[in-house]
Amino acid sequence: MIQPDESVRVPAAFERMLWRHRGEPGMLIPLLQAAQDSYGFVPESAIGQISDITGIPTAEICGVITFYKQFRTKPLGKHIIRLCKGTACHVVGAETIGQVISDELVVAPDETTGDGVFTYMVVACLGCCSLAPALMIDDQTHGRLTPQSVRKLLRQYRRDADKAAEAAGGERPATA
Ligand code: FES
């Protein structure tokens, strides 16, 4: 059984859900959603706690997490990149843009860079097809992308993240 990490404080909303649904195996999905809403992902400690209160083995819970794409077991990066692979973007080079992102950040879709700055996701239409190929970084849309403009954009975000880390007095881990 996975033991909860005592050093990690359990968010109040998740703790309330655990108490409310103690012993209810049918509540697995809502409990996983509550954990993800509270932590931003489903940590091992939460899996252990859910297992304890529902009686569902951790291996089974991990299987459910793997099955549903909505659940993450690792934290998201500081910036979320959503590259559109919808039809309009696809026909004007979204594939190439995706390759540039992977090369520049050394990351595959659905992964987070080793320094925790970017999480890269591939999504369906962003609703701004006239700007194809397009992506979003957090809530900012960037369109009519070229390999050069994407590289420039990512480097700008990384420089800003470096500056913010420096200003906060912390050191960023080496890039993956
Ligand atoms: S297909 Fe990419 S924004 Fe619509």
Best residue for ligand 1 mutational test, from 81, 82, 84 (most atoms within 8 Å of Cβ) = 84
Which regions of the chain does DSSP assign to beta strands (E)? 79-84, 111-112, 118-123, 135-137, 140-142
- 129 C-alpha to ligand 1 centroid (Å): 4
Best residue for ligand 1 mutational test, from 82, 89, 121 (most atoms within 8 Å of Cβ) = 89
Q: What is the pTM of this model?
A: 0.74
Q: At what angle do helices 28-39 and 58-67 cross, to 10 degrees?
A: 70
Task: Report pLDDT digits (tens) over 1-24.
Answer: 444 444 457 888 888 888 777 766
State residue 135 phi and psi, 5-degree precision. -145, 165
Q: Name which residue leads in pLDDT, 82 or 69.
A: 82
- 154 C-alpha to ligand 1 centroid (Å): 20
Give Dmax over CA atoms of the chain in angstroms. Answer: 55
Task: Report pLDDT digits (tens) over 114-171.
Answer: 999 999 999 999 999 999 999 999 999 999 999 999 999 999 999 999 998 888 876 5
Tokens standing for 90? 């696809």
- Omega of the bond prior to 133 within 30 degrees of 0, cis? yes
Please answer whether residues 83 and 51 qualify as being in contact, where contact means their C-beta atoms are separated by less than 8 angstroms: no
Residue 94 CA, closest ligand 1 atom number: 2
